[in-house]
Amino acid sequence: MLQLSENAAAALESIRAAEGIPESHNTRLTAERGPSGDLAVRLEFVENALPEDGVAEQGGTQVYVDPLIVDALSESVMDVHDAGDGLTFVFRPQVV
């Protein structure tokens, strides 16, 4: 299953606080197919996750993963990268 880094969990909580998103809303990853056919992962805060969603958790922060991409992300770690012009969430392979 997808793992969530401590930095990513902290960044998600910071975004939630800065945007005034209620704690009752869930963080959810979905995917959209781009014009080239590649999948682009989308992060959103939703009122309700779906019962069939996968769940990654770090320090009390949960991220729900759409079943359509749960397998594709199953061996990844969601992390955050700060390039100076804003945060970018990245997916890197899990270290075994």
Domain boundaries, the chain: 3-93
State the Cα–Cα distance between residues 16 and 18, nearest whole angstrom. Answer: 6
pLDDT at site 38: 83
Q: What is the CATH number of domain 3-93?
A: 2.60.300.12
**Model pLDDT, residue 83:** 80
pLDDT of residue 33: 82
The per-residue pLDDT for 74 is 94
Tokens of 21: 């998103």
pLDDT score for 66: 95
User: Residue 79 and residue 43: Cα distance in Å, rounded?
Assistant: 13
Segments of the chain scoring below 50 in pLDDT: none
What pLDDT does residue 46 have? 95
Of all helices (H) and strands (E), which one includes residue 11? helix 6-19
What is the pLDDT at residue 17? Answer: 95
The pLDDT value recorded for residue 39 is 80
